[in-house]
Structure 1
Amino acid sequence: MALVQRTYVKISSFITRISVRCYSKSVEEKDIRKSVYISQSKDIYTNLALEDWIYRNVNFKNHHILMLWQSDPCVVIGRHQNPWLEANVPELPHITDKGVRLARRNSGGGTVYHDNGNLNLTFFTPREHYNRKYNLEIITRSLFREFGLKAEISPREDLTVRNYKVSGTASKLGRPNAYHHCTLLVKANKLDLNLALQKQDVDIKTNATKSIKSKIMNLCEENPNVSITNLIKAVGWEYMRTPALNVMDGGMELANKQKGFQLVNPTNLWFPGINEIRDQFVGWEWCYGKTPKFNISKSFTVPDSLVHSYGAAGDVRVTMTVEQGRISDVTLLVPPGLSPECITGEVNVVTSLIGQKFSEEALNSLEGLLGGLVNDKDKFVTECLRQVMSSV
């Protein structure tokens, strides 16, 4: 089945910009047209920027849009999540030849893994037409029509096949616009997925949104004919043959009235200002600095060689408080056998960490201190701090 042929021109030249914060009286369903945008980028930060640009700038009153896009390997966390709790942050650079990127999106929800075996979908509408169930019905109908797959919508509004989760989902509800986006597992590398989302054995206390682990399945495991290319066609045509506000089949007669498939190039030439949005999404302050406050704790058994003859062995417990991605406090609970008075380097070690990013920067600082310490107890405590930093 061939795609609808269109003349591709800069998106900014034919979209309608938002001129007021609230749309006027709603148009009738028959007057709403649809477009399917297919991003030509596989960079997660660029596609998140494109999604945000469209959300901010386009008037969806009589023009609904489905954006289809892919990503090179990455972990995408929700706006209110903790990357150190959700992802295997230290190992991300080593999981694939080019590493796995970490990105924070502008919507809530849980963490997902993307690679070229995922198809990502973003449904844009005015706020009053936001309907997540409608969007998921479009996907389930396309899977059944094209591949005979029976996907179901779970109570949490994810898509499942035989109780295996095949999608992740999240939304951004604003005024006057809204979007619902989800990712479909088509032929994702599940080994890399598991490595990227592997949780570390650390004690983190936080109010950040936590992801719920689920059994997952690739759609190609159920039907080998499912591919990204075929799915783009299937979902795109299903979207265009369905009326804007009701899930019913308008057939090819309705599909041919729509604006069709359009390849889009997410550059500053096409979308003025998109580079600045991408700069925000790629920055450390957004990806890590937006993390809600958290405490991380870990205990270490004191070696017998460091315990006073009059003392008793025990554990050193290290607790770090991290706010806006930076270390704001460090607490050491020291057993009697390793009294604070005997730890001459403690103050310098703790002081050196306050205000630093909870990152490799602080780790390097600790490793530098270790090289200059001569007291074995100082070295032990500093090594404990280093391990807390490197454990997430």
Structure 2
Amino acid sequence: MAQSMMKKMVVSGACVVVGLTRRTSARCLATTGINLSTKTKERELPAEGEITKSVFMSQSTDVFTNLALEDWMYRNMDFTKHHVMMVWRNDPCVVIGRHQNPWLEANVPLLAEKDIALARRNSGGGTVYHDRGNLNITFFTPVERYDRKYNLELIKRALFRGFGIKSVINERQDLLVRNKYKISGTASRLSRLTAYHHCTLLVNANKNDLKGALAKRETNATPSTPSPVANLVEMDNRVTVDSLQTAVGYEYLRTPALHLEDGGQNTISKQRGFQFINPTEEWFPGLAQLKSELQGWDWCFGRTPDFTVSRTFPVPAELLAPSKVYSGTQELAINMSVVKGLIDDVTLNIPPGFVESGFHGEASVITHMKGKRFTSEALTALQEAMLTRHLSSDVRKLDEKEQFVAKCFDQVVNTI
């Protein structure tokens, strides 16, 4: 019964479009009376008293499902008279901003080793770590009524009302406790008609995993700005994800839609309340396609802005020609440019002593890496290319010098 009621509510506020994709820009607004050709500034928006609110609680803990649900609602639902706050949590994952570099922002090899998902969201902002100890919140409104400060102030009020925790909003619009420790990051997405603002609250997240997952590497791209973080449970051990979800949810429902005022039970009684959301294809036709695109390599990694990596490696003395005397450390230098997640160009600068010791054919083997993904796929191509030079030999394996070169490339691609 509850599921059928929820399905009816969702469909009544949205156009259900089968096969909706990320590139689709049209919305069905037949039920709202809004003409797509009408400019945003000409829309007549309802008075505050005509707006109702809901708290949607996603029942999924999969980051790609929740990001797809967020995108589906943004594309399809009409929030003119109905503002929505969605609360959701994820299994361990790292979420990067729309224009960020995953190799710069996260320890990608560690994520694969620990089975921590990496996702790219549609909004801007910095990189965050999620696990079941995070509460994620998304505020949906018409674009004209997008108000990030209202949302953050509302969360501040919930923290103080529910747990006596004082917090401040800094110039970057992060929430801080004790004037230093970050408990929430924030980002947003705005279109001509609709906007959402989302943030994450650290409740009792695994800070060791957070630190390891967000380790940085050196490239020519611009990284996120790190901040000291704290869990809310460190401020008050009564805080849990469930209790915080309830506190923020009720603060949202007891507050009028357009200004910060405690309306109490009278305002709560006029809202649509808390509603469980089951983010499935049955409830939200087209959701599966959105999820598929969000978890694809082309979106998560291929959308990365172009970057370059440069590393130098000291060559072990035993791999150098013994007949020469060297004035300093002999170094092998690797420079690599990456375009759309694919290796576009590679240069390998080899010291003379290493060449004279018997390493040859470097130019021909590294060209096999071009066009490969900036992953172990490129290393496999390199090793296979070097092995082709051993076809006439009974032993098909890399010699010590080739192993050293392969190890250097591995460190370029797979280590921070």
State whether TM-score is above 0.5.
yes
| RMSD of aligned Cα (Å) | 2.2
Verify the 8 A CA contact 2:341 2:374 in the aligned structure 1: yes
For 1:377 and 1:221, locate their aligned partners in 2 and report how far apart those are by CA, in whole Å.
52
Aligned partner (choices 259, 280, 290) of residue 267 of structure 1: 280
- How far apart, CA to CA, are the structure 2 residues paired with 1:304 and 1:148? 63
Q: In the superposition, relative to structure 1, how do residues 76 and 106 fare at CA in structure 2: closer, same or farther (>3 Å)?
A: same
Partner of 1:84: 103
- Separation in structure 1 between the aligned mates of residue 357 and residue 314 of structure 2, nearest angstrom: 19
Question: CA-to-partner distance for each residue in 1:254-308, whole Å, 9 max, x for gaps?
Answer: 1110111110111111111011000011100011111100101110112223334
CA distance in 1, matches of 2:192, 2:226: 32
How many positions carry a matched residue from both structures?
Answer: 382
Instruction: Tell me the CA shift for residue 374 of structure 1.
Output: 5.6
How much has 1:386 moved relative to structure 2?
Answer: 2.6
- Contact 2:320/2:356, CA 8 A, preserved across alignment: no
Equivalent in 183, 186, 201 of residue 184 of structure 1: 201
Corresponding position of 2:21: none
After superposition, the C-alpha distances for 1:147-172 in whole angstroms (9 at most, x for unaligned) are 11111111111111102111111111
Structure 2 CA distance for aligned equivalents of residues 164 and 54 of structure 1: 32
Cα distance in structure 2, aligned partners of 1:315 and 1:159: 46
Q: Call closer, same or farther: CA 1:359–1:130 in 2, change over 3 Å.
A: same
Using the alignment, how far apart are the partners of 2:153 and 2:5 within structure 1? 30
1:344–1:378: 8 Å Cα contact kept in structure 2? no
- How far residue 12 of structure 1 moved from its aligned partner, in angstroms, is 3.8
Q: Which residue of 1 aligns with 2:413?
A: 389
In structure 1, runs of 5+ residues without a counterpart are: none
Match of 2:220 in 1: 205
How far off its partner does 1:358 sit? Answer: 0.7
1:168 aligns with one of 177, 185, 203: 185
Is residue 373–residue 379 contact of structure 1 (8 Å, CA) maintained in 2? no
- The 3 A distance-change label for structure 1 pair 248 and 5 is farther
Within 5 Å, which residues of 2 pair with 1:61-76? 61-76=80-95
How far apart are the structure 2 equivalents of 1:5 and 1:79?
Answer: 33
Between 334-343 and 284-293, report the one with greater CA deviation: 334-343
TM-score normalized by the length of structure 1:
0.92
From 150, 153, 160, give the equivalent of 1:137: 153
365-374 vs 289-298, which moves further: 365-374
Partner AA of 1:164 in structure 2: Y
Partner of 1:13: 11
- 2:71 matches 1:47: no
- CA deviations on 1:64-116 (whole Å, 9 max, x unpaired) are 11000000000001111111111111111333xxx211101001111100000
**Rounded Cα–Cα distance in structure 2 between residues aligned with 1:342 and 1:11:** 73
Mean Cα deviation higher: 338-347 or 134-143: 338-347
Distance in 1 (alpha carbons) for counterparts of 2:332 and 2:265: 69
2: distance between equivalents of 1:263 and 1:45? Answer: 18
Amino acid at match of 2:144: E
Distance 1:128 1:268 in 2: 30
SS of 1:223's equivalent in the other structure is coil
> In structure 2, do the counterparts of structure 1 residues 53 and 252 end up closer, same or farther at CA, with 3 Å as the change threshold?
same
From 322, 326, 347, the counterpart of 2:342: 326
Q: Which residue in 1 is equivalent to 2:252?
A: 239
SS of 1:355's partner is: coil
* Match in the other structure for 1:128: 144
Q: Secondary structure at the match of 2:139?
A: strand
CA distance in 2, matches of 1:345, 1:376: 15
Deviations 1:182-218 (A, max 9, x none): 0000111111111211224xx3112x5x211111111
The structure 2 residue matched to 1:149, chosen from 165, 172, 181, is 165
Indicate conservation of the 8 Å contact 1:143/1:234, yes or no. yes
| Aligned counterpart for 1:193 among listed residues 210, 215, 233 | 210
Residues 374 and 256 from structure 1, CA distance in 2 versus in 1: closer, same or farther, beyond 3 angstroms?
A: closer
CA distance in 2, matches of 1:222, 1:6: 41
Give the deviation of 1:376 after TM superposition: 4.8
AA partner of residue 195 (structure 2): A
Q: 1:316 to 1:116 in 2, by over 3 A?
A: same
**Native 8 Å contact 1:298 1:317 kept in 2:** yes
Residue 265 of structure 2 is aligned to residue 252 of structure 1: yes
Structure 1 residue identity aligned to 2:98: R
- Aligned equivalent of 1:25: 44
Q: Which amino acid aligns with 2:237?
A: P
> Would you say the 8 A contact 1:159–1:166 is kept in 2?
yes
Q: Given the two structures, how large is their TM-score scaled by the length of structure 2?
A: 0.87
